[in-house]
Amino acid sequence: MKSVPYTKPSITNLEVKYAKDAAKNGWGKNCYDYIYKFEKIFKRHLNTRYSISTSSCTGALHMGMHALGISRGDEVILADTNWVATAAPIIHLGAKPIYVDILPDTWCIDPDKIENAITKKTKAIIAVHLYGNLCDMDKILKIGKKYNIPIIEDSAEALGSIYKGRRAGSMGIFGTFSFHGTKTVTTGEGGMFVTNNKKLYEKVLTLSNHGRSKKQKKQFWPEFAGFKYKISNIQAAIGYAQMKRIKILLKRKREIFNFYFQQLKKLPLKMNPEYKQTVNGFWMPTVVVNKNVKFDRDNLMNELKKNKIDARVFFFPLNLTPIGGKKAFNNKYVSEEIFLRSFNLPSHHNISKKDMLNIIRILKEHIV
């Protein structure tokens, strides 16, 4: 029996061709050629003014928040259901993550809970578009404007998602993306910082190169201690090829999700929503089993594993982990019970109908 990975990249001869060219010719004066091409095609896709490719989405978040002046003693609001990569840069800067509950349908931050979590120490709000689902950006941006607090979009999982005509990542003060090997578009490891704010772009660009400004004529002269979060030219070559295939990659993600959805819609569960005036990139098809259903997630995971099917559990609530930060409120959170009823389904681009039907068969045996 062959194994079914939950995700793997779609790599064609185009990616191989560009990567080979970067490995053979992308040195010396050509060492940034594919980086510039990748950044240009990406910002054009997003319709943003500026983009900076990075070694990870975490690095992009770290530099962006540093550029905003977030530091020791500050607070940053984010959803309790998130991967640690969103909270880690906050902690690295000496600030404190403040965890707000999630909505039960999108699993993204509940905008109605944000305002009461704001204090004099609040320096940013991060809207994380979880699993491709979109945050309620109208409400969140309105709160940001009311309190003069910048809104950051962590769009690591939301390439292809669109909110009222605007692509995820293009609406806040800055947005970030991931190109980890699990993502719809990949460079193996990698990320992207995007913004429409020229001043912020220039600050992050300098930060990304050890504090060396492009305007500085002195060689090896740092304006301040920066970071080293650059992507390599070879990685960018793969990313450039992936972006040239972006329509195909996004279309396939939608096909996979819709097949699962049609086959599972009669079961007592919910999946990633796609509301009016939105497009979901459906990075990771996710199942949340209804509350009143007798269901054991771990039993299901074990059964899938026995069949060599690699499914993923839902993210743990960050407030229950040892990483740091605190809940904004002491009441019971939706995030603290939903993860035990939830999981992600395999969705790599080459997954077969036969494999999906086998997964669906097992789900129907465990969700009744």
Q: What DSSP line would sit under 275-315, residue for residue? A: -TTEE---SS-EEEE-TTS---HHHHHHHHHHTTB--EEPP
For residue 31, the 8-state DSSP code is T
CATH for 13-244 is 3.40.640.10
| Mean pLDDT, rounded, for 186-191 | 98
Would you list the domain boundaries of the chain? 13-244, 247-366
pLDDT digits (tens, 9 = 90+) for 233-244: 999 999 999 999
**1: pLDDT strictly greater than 90:** no
The pTM of the whole model exceeds 0.75: yes
pLDDT value, residue 353: 97
pLDDT digits (tens, 9 = 90+) for 98-107: 999 999 999 9
Give all strands (DSSP E) within the chain, no chain letters.
50-54, 75-79, 96-100, 122-128, 151-154, 162-163, 166-167, 174-178, 191-195, 269-271, 278-279, 286-289, 312-313, 326-327, 342-344
Q: Is residue 181 helix, strand or coil? A: coil
| Mean pLDDT, rounded, for 10-20 | 98
Give all strands (DSSP E) within 129-227, no chain letters.
151-154, 162-163, 166-167, 174-178, 191-195
For domain 247-366, the CATH class is alpha beta
**179: pLDDT strictly greater than 80:** yes
pLDDT digits (tens, 9 = 90+) for 272-310: 999 999 999 999 999 999 999 999 999 999 999 999 999
